[in-house]
A and B are shown apart, each in its own frame.
Chain A
Amino acid sequence: MTALQAFWGYYVRWSAKWPGAAALLSFLPLILLWAFIVWLEIFPRVFLPGPLEVLGKAWELLYKGILLDYLGDSVVRLSVGAAAGMALAIPLGILIGLNKRAYEVSWPVLLFFQAIGDIAWLPILLIWFGFGLTTMTFVIVYTVLFPVVLNTVLGIRSVKPELVRAAQSLGASRPRILFEVILPGALPNIITGLRNGLGYGWRALIAAEIIVGTSGIGFLMFDARRAGSVEEIVVGMIVLGLLWYIVDSWILAPVERATGQRWGLVTS
């Protein structure tokens, strides 16, 4: 009993210290199941490689430098597109959120264009811009733009009018109200928008790379298909999930915790 408790205490402290490692542990059953299915040999090995083969492939790609190069390409594309998307979306969202008339006019349009999801644009973009960076950037900017605009607008409109009144009667000017009250009040929503936008953007990027890419993780996976290397495809898939986990839990979630949850605006 005490040994078990000691072990449990040790585990709790350890997982608090290394949350990333603790999260990896939750994948252990999944990996074991995967290995088990492979071991049963229901599917031929070329169709369904085991964890070790995939790991070996990952190491090989890493060693050759391809994996990091492609990963870098994808991440840079996403960052540039997302940064441009946010730079457009946040001011736009603020303007629409602050102005009732602008909100009434633009909301249906925003919803309309949001519904035409990222890759639905690819056919026409390919005709306009061809197979290249412009097309990819457009898709990412587009995908990031709408969730961020919509959530920013929502956030700004959900700031309690009373808080604005309180600030007014404490002598705050309009610009001060914007920066001291409206933006902080909208921040949890804006962060949610960024989180969704980046998530959608990441998926859209992979889709775009598969279709128009000459490098990147999406391209790696599609290229592997041509060579018939299922291992490489699986490596690509795992990298996608892993990278998103890192971005979400190491960057986005802490920001969320430090703002909305700390202020009691969203329940943790």
Chain B
Amino acid sequence: MKSVVLEQLSKTYFDPYRGSQVTAVRDLSLTIDEGDFVAVVGPSGCGKTTVLNMIAGFVPKTSGRILLSGTEVKGPGPDRGVVFQSFALFPWKTVRQNVAFGPKMRGVGKAERNRIADEYLAMAGLSHAADRYPSELSGGMQQRVGVVRALANNPDVLLMDEPFASVDAQTRMTLQEELTRIWEERRPTVVFITHDVAEAVFLANKVVVLAQGRLLAEVEVPLERPRSWDRLVQDETFKELSNRVLQLVRSA
């Protein structure tokens, strides 16, 4: 597992058509410990995706540093698994081939990587869909494949950008519970972006609130685990924390 440290991280986009600059992230410093689960919330356009893309190595930073267990990030790599909001499954690969893609790139033999894929698909309740193509799946199923594909590659850090935004409320709750369970088992470092304050508090050890590219607040979530919605809906601490984060987001 790896820690993620952001030091005075900034990102300015240049718009060549308007000739103007947009600063999406300014002077952001944040420490995420090894095996920690951090949720990032904030109003639309506050720079959440930009931060995640910089950690993933997809987008170059303007200034500052991003350290993965002390080593500076140079580009994308398999130590950081990414779950995309829009799934980003390979349409020409079956569900099993999608999940086996990471192991395949590591040079794992066919029988072994299919075994790995089947194991993860079983965990996500997708065994019956293994031979189907992504376009033949419902949105919620595709989303689960996206999560499982990142997990099957055993990343040290899991970067998730609003991964449950496009599934229905029930499925979302199940996925959230599954995710906490998997995290407790494996303890990867997780950076989880969401709009949904309750989701952030439910999942994370720490909720980070961003506003206009700056760090507004860090809220610790001392709720015990394992967490389940059945219990937490009535939990006073959960309600109080959710309210506090909500106020912060609204003030942003």
Contact = CB atoms under 8 A, between A and B. Distances in A.
A213 interface: no
Nearest to B84: A162
Contacts of A171: 77-78, 102, 105-106, 153
A261 B101 CA distance: 22
B149 interface: yes
A45 interface: no
Interface in B55-88: 56-58, 75-78, 80-82, 84, 86, 88
A171 B100 CA distance: 12
Given A170-B149, A171-B77, A176-B105, A165 B88 contact: yes
Contacts of B89: 166
A185 B57 CA distance: 23
Instruction: Give the interface centre of A170, A171, A259 by most chain B CB atoms within 10 Å.
Output: A170
Contacts of A162: 84, 86, 88
Nearest to B92: A184
B153 A170 contact: yes
Given A162-B84, A169-B81, A176-B105, A263 B58 contact: no
Chain A interface residue count: which class? 20 to 34
A29 interface: no
A262 interface: yes
Interface string B222-235: 00000000000000
A263 B106 CA distance: 25
Interface in B2-56: 56
A40 B155 CA distance: 79
B90 interface: yes
A180 interface: yes
B88 A170 contact: no
Nearest to B135: A264
A242 B103 CA distance: 48
Given A169-B56, A170-B102, A180-B101, A264 B76 contact: no
A160 interface: yes
Interface in A167-189: 167-173, 176, 180-181, 184-185, 187
A80 interface: no
B102 to A, nearest CB: 4
13 contacts: A165-B56, A165-B84, A167-B105, A169-B76, A169-B77, A169-B81, A170-B101, A171-B153, A180-B101, A259-B92, A263-B135, A264-B133, A264-B136
A168 B101 CA distance: 11
Interface of A: 160, 162-163, 165-173, 176, 180-181, 184-185, 187, 259, 262-265
Given A168-B77, A180-B90, A262-B133, 16 more contacts: A166-B89, A168-B75, A168-B76, A169-B80, A170-B78, A170-B101, A170-B102, A170-B105, A170-B150, A171-B77, A171-B106, A181-B90, A259-B92, A264-B133, A264-B135, A265-B91
B95 to A, nearest CB: 12
A169 B78 contact: yes
Contacts of A176: 105
A172 B105 contact: yes
A219 to B, nearest CB: 43
Nearest to B152: A170
Contacts of A173: 105
A169 B101 contact: no
Contact of A263 (B56, B84, B91): B91
A166 B92 CA distance: 14
A82 B86 CA distance: 39
A163 B58 CA distance: 12
B91 A166 contact: no
Contacts of B213: none
A232 to B, nearest CB: 47
Nearest to B91: A263
Instruction: Give the interface centre of B56, B86, B90, B135 by most chain A CB atoms within 10 Å.
Output: B90
